[in-house]
Amino acid sequence: MRIATLNFSAKLGLSGFLITVLLGALSAVTLIGLLYSQHDRGFNIPAMDRIQSHYSDSPLISAMKGPMYQYVTEDGDIDVIAKWIAAGAKNDAFFKDEVMYILGEDCQKCHSRRSQMSNAMPSMPFSSYEDVVQYTEGGYSWTQMARTAHIHLFGIAVFLVLVSLIMAYSSYRPWIKTLLITAGWIALWLDIGSWWLAKFYSSFAFVISLAGSVEIVAVCAMSGLCLLNLWVRLPAVLLEPVEQQAA
């Protein structure tokens, strides 16, 4: 059976799914570009230093370099807090005199139990040492990493296996199907696996970027090619020999 031989209703249902996958991939690319750049709209190329910070720096430093950067008074503020964390994040005079002053100027307008700001986060206050120190561990915590990783693995696997199966029953040459299906799955494993490794070696952020890009390209290519196979007569050069004879 080939997807090109399905009836109109089946083709319509598969097309709706594949178009939704393409829109989801487009949304994911948009979100990643916004999270890892200084822009707040449009398509953007992620900045590698922000990706490295997200996975290897503490949540506090990562936020100050990333989504909260607009609220940082001076870049030196980030360096001061990073220096304190690197020295052990102790509840000492440096914390009281330097770190708390910076947090008071840059963060406590929103990160306060009593804040009335429109985007306030009273559930994440920075009012005391106990409040702040829990956000100083390098990279994701093990609990947060495990939670995020398993959600992504299960979630992506659900639509990736469906797209893979649709591609497997397309009329394209075997090497095209094998290449795209294999690339999609290996890229997924490398992407999520590198999250853990980047916690200890920031250079794995490059693997995350490359694997994530391959993953998106593979999914979009399979979805787009399957849509063509459903509704368009394909050139013989792309078809399996059996399909060429049928054509």
CA distance 177 to 166: 10
Q: Are residues 42 and 146 in the same domain?
A: yes
What's the mean pLDDT when you consider all of the chain?
A: 91
Q: Is residue 54 part of a domain?
A: no
Q: Are residues 158 and 207 in the same domain?
A: yes
Flag whether 152 is in a domain.
Answer: yes
Pick from 64-68, 104-108, 216-220, 230-234: least confident: 64-68
pTM given for the model: 0.79
pLDDT value at residue 245? 41
* Domains contained in the chain, number: 2
Question: pLDDT tens across 70-86, in order?
Answer: 889 999 999 999 999 99
- Of the three residues 133, 148, 163, the one that is the final residue of a domain is 133
The answer to whether residue 56 is domain-embedded is no
**Interval 190-199: pLDDT, tens:** 999 999 998 8
Q: Where are the beta strands (DSSP E) in the chain?
A: none
CA Rg value for the chain: 24
Same-domain status, 169 and 114: no
Residue-wise pLDDT tens digits, 149-195: 999 999 999 999 999 999 999 999 999 999 999 999 999 999 999 99
What distance in Å separates the CA atoms of residue 100 and residue 119, rounded to the nearest whole number?
21
Give counts: helices (H), strands (E), the chain: 11, 0
The total of other beta-carbon atoms located within 10 Å of residue 38's CB is: 11
Domain carrying residue 18: 3-47+140-246
